[in-house]
Amino acid sequence: REELHDGPRLVVVRALRAHTAHLTLQSILQIAFLIVLLYAISDEFHQTMVFGREGTFRDVSIDTIGSALVCLWLSQKENKGR
């Protein structure tokens, strides 16, 4: 169930907000990108151990490219707001 994941997500978001108040948007986006990359890698690794599933570099690439596009979009949005 998807709503079971909302609690940990909120904890992570609140922790990042509390500890990143002094960082620039670019630094926050770099941290977010790194988190997505590491999570994608660990998720695909985990899938190699689940019967009927396989971990693929393609899926890591898709997640990473999506994260990069969102980071670029947010960066551009921030630059236009100045």
Ordered per-residue pLDDT tens for the chain, 82 residues: 444 455 666 676 677 777 777 888 888 888 888 988 998 999 999 999 999 999 999 999 999 999 899 889 888 888 887 6
pLDDT of residue 8: 60
Residue 75: φ, ψ to 5°: -65, -45
Long-range contacts: 20-26, Cβ < 8 Å, 24+? 25/74, 25/75, 25/78, 26/75
**Strand, helix or coil at 46?**
helix
Helix ranges (H only) for the chain are 6-19, 25-47, 57-80
Query: What's the whole-model pTM score?
Result: 0.72
Q: Which helix (H) or strand (E) holds 43?
A: helix 25-47
Tokens of 77: 């949005």
